[in-house]
Copies of this chain bind each other. A is one copy, B any other.
Amino acid sequence: MSSPRQVFYISDRTGLTAENIGEALLNQFGNLSFKRHTHPFVDTPEKARAVVEKVNRSRQENGQRPIAFVSVVDDEIRRIIKGADAFQINFFETFLGLLEKELNTEATVSGQGHHSIGNTKRYDARMEAVNFSLNHDDGVSDKNLQEADVILMGVSRSGKTPTCLYLALQYGIRAANYPLIPDDLESADLPRMVKPYKDKLFGLTIQPERLQAIRQERRPNSAYARIDTCRSEVADAQSMFRRHGIPFANTTDKSVEELAVHILQACKLKRRF
């Protein structure tokens, strides 16, 4: 096996965008191996020159041209990075000119990145949503449940909490969650606490074997972690969702990002930012 190809992510902001699209592209070359170097906040000429030096050194040491995914808004920084001896994929440069032509307007490059808050509205919405989700985690309180944008329900350890938090952080969605306990599952009715909010419910389900593994980790060799417990709880929860026409998704093979976007779509939720 040949030595891994060096990959640099270079950005004058968080670099998350460069990384996301870079990883999606590299994923298409599953038979090759890559070694990644991440350089966020390269926002001064000095920092830019230091990164260029690093890239060039890597080129000499490895004999191969590194690959650089560059997402830099600032013109001067971009010019400096361009001098690095790497195969460069530059998101901004590639598309900005095309867009300027299509929009018939010159770009007014602003250092203010899209991740900056600018005004505090986005920050407020996010804080509020995160606090809401934390206060309504595991069905601890039905106070203000009418203010929830969505209520996730599912058996214990089906992935409700991370999904709620992701919805809050990423979209400012007020996501509460309600754990289905055996008492709930035995009843043909919806749990009393969430019944008034049927239109806000979204169900999470999970493969019993996976659930078993997660629960086993948490409470080894308990009744709670037994495979037949997991099987019957999951089956009961799914029947409940079907009986009451509650949309649901299987979390087993989905990442939190995928789940969140899926829930947004299914419940027609409006992002707060």
Contacts and interface: CB of A to CB of B under 8 A. Distances in A.
Q: What DSSP secondary structure best describes chain A's contact surface?
A: helix
Given A89-B95, A96-B28, A114-B23, A165 B258 contact: no
A116 B29 contact: no
Contacts of A94: 94-95
Contacts of A122: 255
Given A98-B89, A134-B161, A265-B40, A117 B24 contact: no
Contacts of A257: 14, 16, 115
Interface stretch (A105-113, A148-156, A185-193, A221-229): A105-113
A170 to B, nearest CB: 8
A146 B172 CA distance: 32
A255 B117 contact: yes
Interface stretch (A49-57, A123-131, A195-203, A236-244): A123-131
A21 interface: yes
Contacts of A89: 95, 98-99
A258 B116 contact: yes
Nearest to A98: B89
A4 B71 CA distance: 26
Interface in A1-29: 5, 13-17, 20-21, 23-29
Contact of A113 (B27, B40, B256, B262): B27
9 contacts: A24-B91, A25-B95, A28-B107, A40-B265, A67-B102, A89-B99, A127-B162, A130-B162, A130-B165
Given A31-B108, A126-B256, A169-B256, 16 more contacts: A13-B258, A17-B24, A21-B95, A28-B107, A29-B107, A30-B110, A31-B105, A32-B103, A40-B261, A41-B262, A65-B102, A67-B102, A89-B99, A116-B253, A117-B253, A127-B162
